Structure 1
Amino acid sequence: MAATTLNPNGPIDLDAGFHQRPSEDACSQPEPRKPPVLFGNDKKIEDTRYLTPCYLDMPIEELRRRYWQDGVLWVKGLLDPVMINEFRAKYLSMVNEGTEMLKPGTDPVEGIFSGEDWRNYLLPGAVRVAAGLPDEGPFVENAIRSHHCQEYLDFKDKVGRRIEPFVGKMLQFSEPWCLPRSLLRCAVPGGETTPVHYDQIFLRAGPPTSITAWVPIGDVEVEGGGLIYLDRAHEIGVNYEQDFSKRNADLSDEERISAFNRNMEKGGWLDKNASRFGEQWSRGWQVGEYEAGDVVFHTPYTIHAGAKNQSPSGRIRVSTDLRFVDKSKTYDERWTIMAYSEHDPNVARKSARRK
């Protein structure tokens, strides 16, 4: 995908988006309601709250301020929900081939889980290996293949071109670019989920100037296993990385930039258990009721994790992680190589197998 070039001081040049915001202020707090019920890999998370949604028609200065203040920005309706759901159906049909992941007789776009053993559907890489499971089989092969299929490449290209002008304006990039390496994930109800981490761990070969766009592929209920964000945690991530940098100082260049070097937890995580980590830092975890078309942006240091999927309807969560940089400046060039390709130097499964 070619980088988008735009005047960082010009208009965003996007329409009003695909979501009509309520009549309240653009980033108004939701009506008082019970805290969300969230679970990490270990247990229920006691301190939870809702993310505040933002909209395309609010001033870019306010979006920028909130992004840096909170470390996370949930933008409603940036993408076309019809396009999102069309790809959801294609993806789930693909990964269901030979795996019995979907409930028989249901529409793939709904993504209703069959109820088979969730261990069969852990994604390839560190999470699967850490669980003591073989990093092979029909689902693993389907998950890897999905990253390279033309349907996903076309989808990612459309999404990236839509997001590039937005992040270019918000972060004042002169040449915003969606990096070729991306991750396409699903999470079935009841399964283990992504542990606590921040993204700069995996982007250390470049400066901390990238931005992650987490794109839910289909609606995600509050209990449906979406991303959760530690409240006001950007600075905590900065402090962690400064500490890791000191500890990694004597390592070779290759080891120093690795998320899986001897000073890191297996998989590059900070903690496998979100509830324990939040309690340790006396911070709550935030979540949204994400919809198709939404995008959640976060900084390289924002601490986040996946909630365990407890969808009341048995719905499988699908999402993709995209990273954006200013192509005119230095960035981690490992992310120019597609995930799970032969020459991908940043594949967690290879490092996890060496542990």
Structure 2
Amino acid sequence: LRRQIMELLMQGGWLVEGTDPMDGIARIDAQCTEGDTAYSDVYHQIYALRDFHRSGHWSEVLRVMEQVIGEEVLPHPQKIARLWFPQYTAHTTPMHQDFVHFQVSIETYTLWGPVGDCPIELGGLAVLPGSHKIGQVREHHFSLGAGGLAVDEEDLAGTWLSTNYEAGDALIFPSLTVHQALPNYTEDRLRVSLDNRYQARDRPIAQHMLQPHLQGISGFTWEQCYTGWEDEELQYYWKDLGLEVVPMSTQ
């Protein structure tokens, strides 16, 4: 999966020509982020990779998530890749709770994983242990970075934890856990990671979580995503599950 992603990033002009795509050596002059046309153009090529979507359905992952949740799980259709340039720290994902983004069910879990080794200086994820125990959604405000929402640091207490992640590692946490990305302080390496979300299949889900990521910005559709796929196993897999779908809240 990393090779497929990195080769598309090379073709999209994000990586330095003549380098091994697997090394992720970024072109600093190609810096862009979510919301930029240059980002969406390359991002949705990656989004159309069948193996990218398959990652949310790996049998090993589903077994773990069913143990965590205690019920048959639904992998959210809206998978997410995070592609972060070095020397672009103003756009680092801010501290936040995921619930404000996917809404509806507090008992929804995120599984974050690096696509390749991710030492601390590359900008892995950091969490505030026990922050979900408050049992409520904190006040968020606008911020730069993925998601565009953040909580105020002065409202938080505790010690942030992170680590040097390796390929194959996964970090699982509930929707109320406060977390953030660390800045990518490397000189020239691009960080790639995945966000997959899971909930019990019999819980309601917000309608926008059934759409492709960044669909509201670029208009990218599932039909475009599935173009060229050789089978239909993962296409619209949620439509025949009898899900309770509720509108997205704008409050």
TM range (shorter): 0.7 to 0.9
The aligned counterpart of 1:123 is 33
Contact 1:124 1:144 in 2 (8 A): no
For the pair 1:324 / 2:167, whether they are aligned, the reply is no
Aligned equivalent of 2:66, options 150, 153, 168: 168
Describe the shift of the 1:209–1:343 C-alpha distance in structure 2 as closer, same or farther (beyond 3 A).
Answer: farther
Structure 1 residue aligned with 2:177: 302
Asked if 1 retains the 8 angstrom alpha-carbon contact of 2:44 and 2:220, the reply is no
Task: Give CA deviations for 1:249-307 in whole Å, capped at 9, x if unaligned.
Answer: xxxxxxxxxxxxxx843555124xxxx71x55343221111111111001100001111
| 1:178 corresponding residue in structure 2 | 75
With over 3 angstroms needed to count, the CA separation of the structure-2 counterparts of 1:102 and 1:140, relative to structure 1, is same
- The match for 2:189 is 315
- Using the TM superposition, give the Cα deviation of residue 165 of structure 1 relative to its aligned residue in structure 2, in angstroms: 1.3
Mapped pair 1:209 → 2:209: no
- Paired positions, count: 213
Distance in 1 separating the partners of 2:220 and 2:184: 32
**Higher mean Cα deviation, 223-232 or 326-335?**
326-335
Structure 1 gaps, min length 5: 1-86, 126-134, 245-262, 345-355
Q: Which has the larger radius of gyration?
A: 1
Scaled by the length of structure 1, the TM-score of the pair is 0.54
* Alpha-carbon offset, residue 95 of structure 1: 2.2
Residue 136 of structure 1 deviates from its aligned partner by 1.4
Q: Check whether the contact 1:182–1:339 (CA below 8 A) recurs between aligned residues.
A: yes
Instruction: Select which of 22, 46, 55 maps to 1:146.
Output: 46
Q: Is the 8 A contact 2:83 2:191 kept in 1?
A: yes
Contact map agreement 2:69 2:199 (CA 8 A) in 1: no
SS of alignment partner, residue 22 of structure 2: coil
Identity %: 24
What is aligned with 1:196?
95
SS at structure 2 position matched to 1:223: helix
Alignment RMSD (CA, Å): 2.4
**Residue of 293, 299, 305 corresponding to 2:168:** 293
Distance 1:327 1:282, change over 3 A: closer
Question: If the length of structure 2 is used for normalisation, what is the TM-score?
Answer: 0.75
In structure 1, how many angstroms separate the alpha carbons of the residues matched to 2:156 and 2:141?
Answer: 19
Q: C-alpha deviations, 1:50-100, integer Å up to 9, x for none?
A: xxxxxxxxxxxxxxxxxxxxxxxxxxxxxxxxxxxxx1121021123242x
State the SS of the aligned residue for 1:186: strand
